[in-house]
Structure 1
Amino acid sequence: MTTPTPAPGAASAAEQYGLFNALHQGGVISWTVFILLVGSLFISLFILLSKWWEQQKIIGQAKKVRAGFWSAPNLRDAATKLEKNSAYRQIVDDGLLAEDQHDKLKDPIDQHEWINNSIARSTASIGAKLSGGLPFLATVGSVAPFVGLFGTVVGIYRALIAIGASGSASIDKVAGPVGEALIMTALGLVTAVPAVLAYNWLLRRNKVIMEGLVAFANDVHGYMVSGGAVRPSFGLTKAAQPKVAATASGVQTTKA
């Protein structure tokens, strides 16, 4: 039993068509588009993984805050329970620093306003750090399809020029070059779709994380300006929770 031998023209056609042959035929423009798209894809994946790891660290820190931060006798002792250089530790440290600096101010300003501004500035800096890299994902998601389309247009233009020079417009002459050119459009979509999905997913997670950080910053501010009388109830032992007692006049007072 003999194996059928492929036609000589079929083997040569298979060797002529393909991605790298299309890049070779397209020249500098095709190679530039290809490198831009592939590079953007890998950078997008790197941003996705690095931001996910950064978010997971802050989520883990939030669990430690809920576990026992507010059960400490004072804010400085509570800060030692947090990891150094963590987001929550930064807010506490900046609040304590603002409290220490208030007495050194020459112009009078309310202590609660000074501390609030400092804590808000600290929270905003954390939010800016979390948002790093997201503009790149948004740019790739919106631009990559057009970059791929540009590569396709250039590829089809070169294919039509070659077809015109050969004087033949048969299907075997048109299908291969046009199919190679369309690879750039597909590559642009492959680059853009993960970038858009990663951007939306990371943005949603950032929003949830920032809501927790802002709530924590408000709790820290309230604790500091009240001298420790105001603190959230979660994470406190029953003995550490504020007690409510009734005075002779019937007005309830809170005991720390």
Structure 2
Amino acid sequence: MTTVRIVGIGCHPGQLTLEAREAIAGCDYVIAADKGPDDPLLALRRGICADLGVELVAVQDPPRDRDPGLGGADYDGAVLDWHDARAAAYGSLLDRRPGRVGFLVWGDPAFYDSTIRVVDRLGVPYDVLPGVSALSLLAARHRVVLHEVGRPVLVTTGRRLADEVAAGHDNLVVMLDGRLQATLLDGDWDIWWAANLGSPGQELVAGRLADVVDAIRAARERARDADGWVMDTYLLRRNSQS
């Protein structure tokens, strides 16, 4: 009998909840995607598992079509193909090694992560434990509320940012935006930006977007130098005076 636990591990090993630590320690082993010999996030997962005395089994991550020209149905199709390939790779391992199996999700499994969708394809019982999300950390580190009084906030990606702004959204949290699509927007915007939240290379920049673009680019490079990777998250809000 195989059961799976999808565990949000926050954005730093120190952010593991007691519930998450107990769940991981109770697994027979943990599966993690291996994206290459210099994958720092795989190394962090190994460290968590070693600390809790649980074996980590790395599975080579299938290639994904990341052509920036993909859009609409083509982009969705490429992601679905990647999820199917991941599910096939993980399913093959589960067939050989049944048991209590963990997947460690950076941040929280509910926000722009594919693990739940992939595991759902496996046809095995599973549960999901939340983690400290990048959204929560962004707000905490900048000491802001993500929405104004009685107003909504939209969570989206850099790929969709221009379309969401065109649709009238003016208070957005943006994830997965390595190309800084915010710099292409018209109008006057305020930004609360962060990279590698919770890590030693954490960087924070806030201000009027037009005034801090160069500071954000420099901070991205410092974060990459410190951690070997960059994950940006930011709150973007149209200036109320514009």
Q: Which has the higher contact order (CA 8 A, sep 6+)?
A: 1
Asked which structure has the greater CA Rg, the reply is 1
Same fold by TM-score greater than 0.5: no
TM-score (norm 1): 0.26
TM-score (norm 2): 0.28
Structure with a larger share of its residues in strand: 2
Structure with a larger share of its residues in helix: 1
